[in-house]
Amino acid sequence: LGQPAFRLRAHLEEAADPKRAFAMVSELLLERIARSGLTEPDNMQLAEQHLRKENGKTAITELAAVSGMSVRQLQRRSPIVYGLSPKAFAAVIRFNKVYGAMQRNRTLDLDVALECGYYDESHMMKDLTYYLGKAPRRFATMQRPLLNNNLGH
Do 141 and 93 fall into the same domain?
yes
Do 113 and 140 fall into the same domain?
yes
Do 99 and 138 fall into the same domain?
yes
Q: Which residue has the higher pLDDT, 150 or 81?
A: 81
On average, the pLDDT of the chain sits at 79
Please give the single-letter amino acid code of residue 143.
Answer: Q
Could you give the C-alpha distances from 35 to 13, 89, 104, in angstroms and in order?
26, 29, 47
Residue 74 belongs to some domain of the structure: yes
**Banded model confidence at residue 140, pLDDT cuts 50, 70, 90:** low
Q: Would you say residue 22 has pLDDT above 80?
A: no
Do 11 and 49 fall into the same domain?
no
Do 141 and 92 fall into the same domain?
yes
Distance CA 62, CA 94 (A): 17
Q: Which residue has the higher pLDDT, 90 or 137?
A: 90
pTM of the full structure: 0.60
Which range of residues forms the domain containing residue 55? 40-85
Question: Is the CB of residue 85 less than 8 Å from the CB of residue 79?
Answer: yes
Do 21 and 51 fall into the same domain?
no
Do 81 and 104 fall into the same domain?
no
Do 77 and 48 fall into the same domain?
yes
Q: How many domains in the chain?
A: 3
Question: Is the CB of residue 85 less than 8 Å from the CB of residue 51?
Answer: no
Q: Which residue has the higher pLDDT, 106 or 130?
A: 130
Q: Would you say residue 61 has pLDDT above 90?
A: yes
**Banded model confidence at residue 62, pLDDT cuts 50, 70, 90:** very high
